[in-house]
Amino acid sequence: MGHYDDLADSKFETGFPTRETSISLRNELVFQRAVQSYLWSLPAINIWAMKEGSESTFGAGYNVLPIWQNRIDAKTLVTTPNFDVVYAMGYLDLDKYGPLVVEAPAGVQGIFDDFWQRPIVGPTIEGHTWKGDVGLAGPDAGSGATYVLLPPGYSGPEPAEGYIYRSRTNNVFLFWRAFFADPADLSPAVNRIESTVIYPLGQKDGALPMQFPRASGVECNMLFPQDGTYFEMLDRFIQSEAVDPYDLDLRGFLHTLGIEKGKAFDPTPDDRELLDKAARTAFKMSKVTVTSLLALEPGGTYYPNQPWVNTFAGENTEFQSSGTFTNLEQRGAFFTAAYSNSPGMVVNIVDKGAKYPATMKDSEGNWLDGGNSYSLHLPPDLPAALFWSVALYDSVTASGLDNGQPFPSVNTMDKPTINPDGSHDIYFGPTKPNAADETNWLRTLPGKGYFVILRLYGPGKPFFDQTWTPGDLEPIR
């Protein structure tokens, strides 16, 4: 507590701060506002880093939609990707191109998020307002449809056709997930995604031709920074984006740091060093939120006395709790370790959307250790109408654990070994445990921590009423 004692006891003489006090408290103000700005802006900079990483690797434009045609693997550095679907992710600039039309293909589970990763508000149909979801969990119910994305402050004529979605940011994240039945043949899923068409409103005939770069196996860093370069990225985001009146107070924090829309960000060398320390501190704080604070929140774990955490405990896409505050612990825990957000991921609907229980600890309450071996028992009749999977992630970056296997996951389509009673046992360890085989073993790395996500797509009633619960990771000795 010595540092805080020093601040509290800073010297004033005849009612005024000494020069030393002025300098130390001013620096503390910059440091504190930088830490909070980092944590506040994680949803935006997580997705902005994805945009910059993708566009530097695959190209930019409304017509560029990279597809992970052989599934995403650990060579793509991005927070908690799903290795068991075919991905496509695009970044749409409504400031540069104006309103954009998206002809969404049939059979995808998609999302439109703004660049604060808030689901974009769509039409109200039969009393239900659609937000973000497209495809299987959206208003087209997976049949495919035309969507029109309008920028902030749009005052033009109302589009005559399509589902209208109004973004609060200039940039929009387009995210398609296509399911497959046979891991050996992903072409049907890829072909579905390749029927996507995107063009400026009213300009279909003159639009740029669609491009679908192949992203599988391509090294691409889409992670947000853990150091002072975070604030340089944050400045690029602020310069690119519309000003939302709801953000003015927190933009005041950025003003203290020298980040302001329309002005150059040019901190002194001393301030750059201070911002670097603040970023490194804030990143570690975000990890403490995931590993320690989240479980203390109401509903922060799925099951009593089990360490499976729930980052969407509030069932609210903007992490608002009881309509009285934003749960910053849940929000920070999610966006330091994940991206994309929609009602289909958050709201509890039987056989719809998905659920993502995650654990960093074993049954004894110890952190998962890549040098140890564990088993996870999944009882019979897993409640997942579409599929289930178990995947491993780096405990620091939250990207896929680069364990040397083609994918750090086991899923339904892989047809892992099943027990006579219909249950599954999944094994983890640096070498294959004696009870495991190649279909149900995930390699871990000595000296590296990791966490596990159990994905349930189309979660069934037994998941919600907890008549079905997973086991814990049991140490194998």
CATH number for the domain that contains residue 402: 2.60.120.600
Query: Residue 19: CB partners within 8 Å, gap ≥ 6?
Result: none
pLDDT of residue 2 exceeding 80: no
For residue 49, being part of any structural domain is answered with no
Local confidence band at 6 (pLDDT 50, 70, 90 cut-offs): confident
The verdict on 14 and 152 lying in the same domain is: no
Q: How many domains does the chain have?
A: 3
- What tens digit of pLDDT does each residue of 36-58 get? 999 999 999 999 999 999 999 99
The verdict on 177 and 305 lying in the same domain is: no
Q: What is residue 299's predicted lDDT score, i.e. its pLDDT?
A: 85
Q: What is residue 5's predicted lDDT score, i.e. its pLDDT?
A: 82
Q: What is residue 348's predicted lDDT score, i.e. its pLDDT?
A: 81
pLDDT of residue 322 exceeding 80: no
Query: Residue 155: CB partners within 8 Å, gap ≥ 6?
Result: none
The verdict on 396 and 436 lying in the same domain is: yes
337 is written with which tokens? 């370790």
- What tens digit of pLDDT does each residue of 21-39 get? 999 999 999 999 999 999 9
* Domain limit, last residue, from 237, 258, 281: 281
The verdict on 20 and 95 lying in the same domain is: no
For residue 395, being part of any structural domain is answered with yes
Average pLDDT, the chain: 95
Q: What is residue 246's predicted lDDT score, i.e. its pLDDT?
A: 87
The verdict on 217 and 235 lying in the same domain is: no
Q: What is residue 189's predicted lDDT score, i.e. its pLDDT?
A: 97
Q: Compute the average pLDDT of residues 297-305.
A: 88
- Asked if residue 335 lies in contact with residue 130, where contact means CB atoms within 8 angstroms, the answer is no
The verdict on 186 and 241 lying in the same domain is: no
The verdict on 79 and 195 lying in the same domain is: yes
For residue 10, being part of any structural domain is answered with yes
The verdict on 383 and 423 lying in the same domain is: yes
Q: Compute the average pLDDT of residues 311-325.
A: 85
Q: What is residue 313's predicted lDDT score, i.e. its pLDDT?
A: 82
Q: How far is CA 130 from CA 115, 124, 141, 164, 313, in A?
A: 18, 6, 12, 10, 21
DSSP-assigned letter for residue 291: I
Q: Compute the average pLDDT of residues 222-226.
A: 98
Distance CA 285, CA 287 (A): 5
Q: What is residue 263's predicted lDDT score, i.e. its pLDDT?
A: 97
Q: What is residue 128's predicted lDDT score, i.e. its pLDDT?
A: 94
The verdict on 151 and 13 lying in the same domain is: no
The verdict on 103 and 79 lying in the same domain is: yes
The verdict on 298 and 162 lying in the same domain is: no
Cα 63 to chain centroid, rounded: 23
CATH of the domain at 128: 2.60.40.1610
pLDDT of residue 343 exceeding 90: no
Measured between its terminal Cα atoms, the distance across the chain in Å is 41
13 is written with which tokens? 């003489």
- What tens digit of pLDDT does each residue of 183-206 get? 999 999 999 999 999 999 999 999
For residue 50, being part of any structural domain is answered with no
pLDDT of residue 434 exceeding 90: yes
Local confidence band at 230 (pLDDT 50, 70, 90 cut-offs): very high
The verdict on 328 and 180 lying in the same domain is: no
- Asked if residue 171 lies in contact with residue 114, where contact means CB atoms within 8 angstroms, the answer is yes
Taking CA 212 as the corner, what is the angle to CA 207 and CA 217, rounded to the nearest 5 degrees?
160
**Domain containing residue 37:** 2-43+225-281
- The continuous run of DSSP H or E covering 229 comes out as helix 229-240
For residue 157, being part of any structural domain is answered with yes
Q: What is residue 122's predicted lDDT score, i.e. its pLDDT?
A: 96
- Asked if residue 452 lies in contact with residue 392, where contact means CB atoms within 8 angstroms, the answer is yes
15 is written with which tokens? 């009612």
